[in-house]
């Protein structure tokens, strides 16, 4: 069965949008955030219109409905990720998920001189918390370099960096290069030396079905808004034995059992890490997004996106002055095409593309160490998802060619 992309597009009202200059929107900024299908928008509106109430608090009907919907979403989302609800902690996104590992696990279990291994292709969300841990508790942070020929992780250097490591944090799929890291091998080798492993799946989850239990990582960070869900929610999936080693880094309402003027006792398991009023509408929206995604074979989705990305990159390589960073032609590449033109500034290029209706991202992509490794301050990035088409890619390549013909 091939994907019915026209039917998929019909689920996304925003794809009908015309920009103020009358141009039809071509949305190629999916690695920043995906668009939302109508069913997600409806599920969130339905909550606000019909049963808006706080969860886990009162005994009235609305509170009951809100609690059931919140926990029902957790059941659906955790099952989608191949695990059980007790191993899932709602967070505001992948950034908070990683911070929870830093402040809730690392600060409790690591001490001065302990080694945390990162890679040069991490998003800032998976760099800065570890730099903070280095200031707070004196951990040593090591960075695995990328091979600049293949734009992949230097696995020989990884093995060297692994020596004596306590924690390894690796991005599943780079938001800049689109490269998928060999996370299975990384997990196996890290566990062999006794290190725990965190995989940042913010970009991986929209492109392949992450099965937490069989993947075997200790922590997996996920963001809803890149996989058809709303902004403001994500989760950290945590293996039970690792969760037992964690302490809460935010305290207050919801996460307590009993509070007296003398002190407090806390809930057990994931409830200990979800403080304050939950993100109820967002969880319900994410649950609807997962239900929507369940209808697709993610390998087919990946194939569709990969076809568009590799074709686009191959055409772009024929445009004089365009250089592509990464190898979108690889089978496991996720649909991000980062590029620069040798004489048109990246910001100018983005504005010119926007005039044609093409939304691409420009900047350092929250990956400045990777930009440093590539020797550039920023790139333009076209990133594709399930609803993009070859026709859109074709019009993009043609428009880019016209820009280059006119301005270079």
CA 270 to chain centre: 21
Annotated active-site positions, please?
A: 366
If binding is defined by CB under 6 A, does position 171 make contact with ligand PLP? Answer: yes
Q: Is residue 180 at the binding interface for ligand PLP, with CB under 6 A as the rule? A: no
Strands 361-363 and 196-200 turn out to be unpaired
Is the CB of 90 or the CB of 399 nearer to ligand PLP?
A: 90
- How many residues form the binding site for ligand PLP (CB under 6 A)? 13
Cβ atoms of 26 and 382 within 8 Å: the answer is no
Residue nearest to ligand PLP (CB): 93
Q: Nearer Cβ to ligand PLP, position 336 or 400? A: 336
By CB under 6 A, is residue 125 in contact with ligand PLP?
Answer: yes
Which CB, 123 or 330, lies closer to ligand PLP?
123
Pairing of strands 88-91, 234-238: antiparallel
What's the alpha-carbon Rg for the chain, to the nearest Å?
A: 22
Alpha-carbon distance of 102 to 137, in angstroms, equals: 11
Q: Single out the segment in contact with ligand PLP by CB under 6 A; choices: 89-97, 148-156, 259-267, 319-327.
A: 89-97
Q: Does 30 bind ligand PLP (CB under 6 A)?
A: no
Residue 103 gets which letter from DSSP? I
The residue from 190, 203, 338, 346 that contacts ligand PLP (CB under 6 A) is 203
Q: Report residue 153 as tokens.
A: 């992780």
Region 332-391 residues binding ligand PLP, contact defined as CB under 6 A: 366
Least distance to ligand PLP from the beta carbon of 199, Å? 10
User: Contact with ligand PLP (CB under 6 A): which of 95, 166, 275, 333?
Assistant: 95
Q: How far apart are CA 205 and CA 159, in angstroms?
A: 26
Report the nearest approach of ligand PLP to the CB of residue 18 (Å).
27
Would you count residue 200 as binding ligand PLP (CB under 6 A)?
A: yes
Contacts of 178 (CB under 8 A, 6+ apart): 309, 326, 328, 333, 334, 335, 336, 337, 338, 383
Q: Does 223 bind ligand PLP (CB under 6 A)?
A: yes
Which letter does DSSP use for residue 64 in this model?
Answer: H
Pairing mode, strands 336-341 and 140-144: unpaired
For ligand PLP, the closer CB: 256 or 366: 366
Of 67 and 306, CB closest to ligand PLP: 306
In this structure, are residues 370 and 121 in contact, taking their beta carbons and an 8 Å threshold? yes
DSSP letter assigned to residue 295: T
**Would you count residue 99 as binding ligand PLP (CB under 6 A)?**
no
The nearest distance, CB 280 to ligand PLP, in angstroms, is: 18
Alpha carbon distance 68, 70 (integer Å): 6
Residue 139 CB, shortest distance to ligand PLP, in Å, is: 20
203 versus 254: smaller Cβ distance to ligand PLP: 203
Residue 234 makes contact with ligand PLP by CB under 6 A:
yes
Q: Which of 100, 202, 205, 352 binds ligand PLP (CB under 6 A)?
A: 202
Length of the chain in residues, anyone? Answer: 408
Smallest distance, Å, CB 72 to ligand PLP? 22
Stretch that binds ligand PLP, among 3-11, 64-72, 88-96, 242-250 (CB under 6 A): 88-96
10 Å Cβ neighbour count for 228? 26
Residues 393, 384 contacting (CB under 8 angstroms) = yes
Q: Are strands 146-147 and 152-153 parallel, antiparallel or unpaired?
A: antiparallel
Contact call for residue 237 and ligand PLP (CB under 6 A):
no
Q: What count of other Cβ atoms lies within 10 Å of the Cβ of residue 129?
A: 23
Q: Which residues bind ligand PLP (CB under 6 A)?
A: 93-95, 123, 125, 171, 175, 200, 202-203, 223, 234, 366
């Amino acid at each position: 069965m091939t994907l019915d992309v026209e039917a998929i597009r019909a689920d996304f009202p925003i794809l009908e949008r015309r920009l103020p200059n009358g141009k039809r929107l071509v949305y190629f900024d999916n690695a920043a955030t995906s668009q939302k299908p109508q069913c997600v928008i409806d599920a969130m509106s339905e909550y606000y219109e019909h049963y808006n109430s706080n969860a886990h608090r009162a005994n009235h009907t609305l509170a009951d409905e809100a609690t059931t919907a919140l926990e029902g979403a957790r059941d659906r989302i955790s099952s989608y990720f191949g695990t059980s609800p007790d191993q899932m902690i709602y967070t505001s996104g992948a950034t908070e998920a990683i911070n929870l590992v830093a402040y809730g696990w690392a600060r409790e279990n690591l001490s001065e001189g302990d080694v945390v291994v990162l890679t040069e292709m991490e998003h800032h969300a998976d760099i800065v918390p570890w730099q903070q841990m280095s200031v707070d508790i004196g951990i040593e942070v090591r960075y695995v370099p990328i091979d600049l020929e293949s734009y992949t992780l230097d696995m020989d250097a990884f093995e060297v960096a692994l020596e004596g490591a306590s924690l390894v944090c690796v991005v599943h799929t780079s938001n800049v290069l689109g490269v998928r890291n060999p996370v299975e091998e990384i997990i196996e080798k890290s566990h062999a030396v006794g290190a725990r492993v965190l995989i940042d799946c913010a970009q991986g989850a929209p492109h392949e079905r992450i099965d937490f239990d069989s993947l075997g990582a200790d922590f997996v960070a996920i963001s809803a808004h890149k996989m058809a869900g709303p902004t403001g929610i994500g989760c950290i999936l945590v293996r039970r034995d690792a969760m037992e080693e964690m302490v809460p880094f935010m305290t207050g309402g919801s996460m307590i059992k009993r509070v007296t003027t003398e002190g407090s006792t806390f809930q057990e398991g994931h409830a200990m890490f979800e403080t304050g009023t939950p993100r109820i509408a967002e969880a319900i929206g994410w649950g609807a997004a997962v239900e929507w995604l369940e209808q697709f074979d993610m390998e087919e989705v990946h194939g569709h996106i990969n076809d568009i990305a590799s074709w686009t990159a191959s055409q772009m390589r024929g445009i004089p002055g365009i250089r592509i960073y990464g190898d979108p032609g690889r089978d496991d590449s996720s649909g991000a095409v980062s590029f620069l033109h040798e004489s048109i500034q990246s910001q100018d290029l983005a504005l010119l593309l926007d005039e044609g209706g093409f939304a691409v991202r420009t900047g350092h992509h929250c990956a400045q160490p990777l930009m440093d490794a590539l020797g550039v301050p920023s790139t333009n990035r076209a990133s594709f998802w399930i609803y993009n088409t070859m026709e859109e890619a074709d019009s993009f390549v043609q428009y880019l060619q016209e820009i280059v013909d006119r301005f270079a």
